[in-house]
Amino acid sequence: MQSVSVKQVPTYSPQLLDEAIAAHFDALDVASDLTPESRVLIKPNLLAGRAPDLAVTTHPEVLLAVVRWLSARGITKITLADSPGGVYTPASLRKTYTACGLDVLDDFLTLNEDITASNKDGFSIITPVLEADYIINCCKLKTHGLTVMTAGVKNLFGCVPGLKKPEIHCMKPTIGSFCNLLVDLAEVVRPQVTLLDAIDCMEGNGPGGGSVRHMGYTLASRSPYALDEQATLLMGLQMQMIPILRIAKERKLLSGTTQLLGDTLRPANPPFTLPDAVLGTESIFTPKGIFHIVFGRKKAFPRVLTRRCVGCGLCAESCPKHIIKIVNKKAVISKKNCISCFCCQEMCPAHAIEAK
Ligand code: SF4
Ligand code: SF4
């Protein structure tokens, strides 16, 4: 049986977070896995360089609490690594760390600037992930225009370096094929623990352009699938709406019963507002998700809200099909060849891309 540890944590107070991390890691017996020699990787969600209070990225106070817990056990070989959206260079990583408020971690761990990667079981994976003995997957709870929600499993897509991610979107253009690949990737990376920052979450046009929704929880599990299942319930959503969970269940990676440890989990009421790209099809979701599996999301396309566009080009950089051009300082999308992955919307800092 899979277990998920639940703690109510109303704010990002260091003291409350220390208590929550201690309770989670006690419940999951994490200490018995580790020695002072362990090389631990912390894998946050650093989608883009955004301030912590926007709820796009894992909050630095959560990461600091994990580091304090590890340091108290004599563990010093700690690395934080992620491949954010867009290019993957030492300069872009450093910029992202600063924007996400992670410079405070510099004294306590290594903020990765190694941009090499190697192949493992068919995936290109960033080196710090491959070199770690122990992976703590520190994800953020958000809605997502393609996968409906992102928490533990989707966070591991950041183990794939830079612009290899858009290549994968091209190879797996339907929701079913892409989510199957995310599950394959989770099985390759196999984090020992997944910890969810669900204190300030994101609803609406997540994972980059939604609104902050305060829930006041952290969750932890040995299983990213069980954690995602409980995170879905916390959002007030149904499990069958989430393609990753349907696939995990079909592949028997998600057992029928999950043991909840710790506090009571109170689902969001009203449920999280879904992204534009999902809302249009919500009413025809079926328990088996036949609609998505058969049709993909071919009816939703991105549209640029020209008055908001600042011409930064981040959408063009992340588009796997290279169909976005900047013309007169505004993004222009050619709908032909669009695979509706919404990477462009995900990366837009100006909320200038909507789904139609
Ligand atoms: S235009 Fe946007 S949704 Fe279409 S392929 Fe490019 S990134 Fe994906
Ligand atoms: S649509 Fe958004 S990401 Fe693209 S250029 Fe305009 S502001 Fe930048």
Residue-level pLDDT at 299 = 63
Chain centroid, CA 101 distance in Å? 18
Residue ranges of the chain that CATH labels 3.40.50 = 2-277
Phi, psi values for residue 4, rounded to 5°: -130, 125
DSSP assignments along 169-231, one per residue: HHHS-SHHHHHHHHHHHHHHH--SEEEEEEEEEEESSTTTS-EEEEEEEEEEES-HHHHHHHH
Kindly give the distance from the C-alpha atom of residue 352 to the centroid of ligand 2, in angstroms, as a whole number.
6
Strand partners, 43: 137
Q: Is the CB of 25 under 6 A from ligand 1?
A: no
Cα→Cα distances 87→74, 182, 327, 334, Å: 35, 20, 21, 22
Looking at residue 285, its pLDDT comes to 53
DSSP letter assigned to residue 269: S
pLDDT in tens, the chain (356 residues): 899 999 999 999 999 999 999 999 999 999 999 999 999 999 999 999 999 999 999 999 999 999 999 999 999 999 999 999 989 999 999 999 999 999 999 999 999 999 999 999 999 999 999 999 999 999 999 999 999 999 999 999 999 999 899 999 999 999 999 999 999 999 999 999 999 999 999 999 999 999 999 999 999 999 999 999 999 999 999 999 999 999 999 999 998 799 999 999 999 999 999 998 887 543 455 544 455 545 444 468 899 999 999 999 999 999 999 999 999 999 999 988 898 888 999 899 999 999 88
Q: Which residue has the tokens 């990477």?
A: 343
> In this predicted structure, what is the pLDDT of residue 297?
46
CATH topology of domain 301-355: Alpha-Beta Plaits (3.30.70)
Ligand 2 atom, smallest distance to 311 CA: 5
Determine which residue's CA is closest to atom 2 belonging to ligand 2.
348
How far apart CA 329 and CA 39 sit, in angstroms, is 45
Tokens of 111: 């903020």
Residues with CB under 6 A from ligand 2: 304, 309-315, 326, 331, 347-348, 350, 352-353
- Strand, coil or helix: what is 20? helix
Q: Which residue type does 167 have?
A: E
Euclidean distance between CA atoms 313 and 86, whole angstroms: 10
With CA atoms as reference, report the closest residue to 275 among 210, 229, 231, 215.
210
Q: What is the per-residue pLDDT for 80?
A: 98
Residue 87 token pair: 């290019």
**Ligand closest to CA 302:** 1
The answer to whether domain 2-277 has CATH 3.40.120 is no
The preferred substitution site among 304, 319, 348, 354 for testing ligand 1, maximizing ligand atoms within 8 Å of CB, is 319
Ligand 1: residue whose CA is nearest its atom 5: 338
DSSP reduced 3-state for 44: strand
Q: Where in the chain is the domain with CATH 3.30.70.20?
A: 301-355
Helices (DSSP H) in the chain: which residue ranges? 14-27, 60-71, 90-99, 127-131, 152-155, 164-171, 175-189, 224-234, 243-250, 276-279, 290-295, 314-318, 343-347
pLDDT value at residue 157: 98
Q: Give, for ligand 1, the residue of 167, 278, 321 to mutate: max count of ligand atoms closer than 8 Å to Cβ.
A: 321
The ligand minimizing its distance to the Cα of 349 is: 2
